[in-house]
Amino acid sequence: MKKYYKIIPIGALIILVLLLFINYLYINDYTNSIYVMTQKDESGKIAYYEINDRKNYREVEKFKPAKSKVLTLNNCYNMKKVKEESETSLEELCTLRDSQNDAVYLTQDLRNIVSLIGKKVHHEILVGKVIILDDDYYVVIRTNVNWYSPCDLYKYNKEKKELEIIYNFNKEEVVGIKLK
């Protein structure tokens, strides 16, 4: 009978170690990941990360961001007004501009993205970008939140018509991305 008292705790410990190991492998799986290049606020230093679909990251070697089209959000600073306006005036309140500072026609996907930004963001937008890469849309939103300086990176899910958070950076701005 005393044998069982020794075997049960050892068996439980082995099971716990196995579960922790499996969890570690699951969390650190980077097969579905994206490479993100950021610039740190204080130092201006460039950092390179790989972020998996479980919102874990690791630093990686320097890489060149993929060639993409970057659109800048303009006039989206008063998100309360954007939320209150009807969809027909959304283009007037929040415009997207290309690298030549020309206004961009809002396709239905871009209209959805601007509308979702209006619903998600509750603070003044300091930086807003839509990055178009391989027919996918990525959204970078930097807001003014007093002592905290968040920069959120989203991916637009076309099927669900949702902005899905990839990662929330603090005191870093996303300056480039590359798909794996």
Tens-place pLDDT, residues 100-135: 988 888 889 998 898 888 777 777 777 889 999 989
The C-alpha angle 51, 42, 133, rounded to 5 degrees, equals 35
Task: Please give the Cα distance from 91 to 100 (Å, whole number).
Answer: 18
* DSSP string of 71-130, one letter each residue: EEEES---HHHHHHS-GGGHHHHSEEE-TT--B----HHHHHHHHHHHHH--SEEEEEEE
Q: What is the mean pLDDT of residues 35-53?
A: 92
CA distances from 120 to 39, 67, 123, 127 (A): 24, 28, 9, 15
Q: Please indicate whether residue 168 or residue 115 has the higher confidence score (pLDDT).
A: 168
Q: How confident is the model at residue 88, as a pLDDT?
A: 43
Residue 13 DSSP code:
H
- pTM beyond 0.85: no
- Report percent pLDDT > 70 for the chain: 79
Q: What is the mean pLDDT of residues 134-159?
A: 89
If one counts every other C-beta atom within 10 angstroms of the C-beta of residue 123, the result is 15
If one counts every other C-beta atom within 10 angstroms of the C-beta of residue 155, the result is 19
Q: How confident is the model at residue 49, as a pLDDT?
A: 96
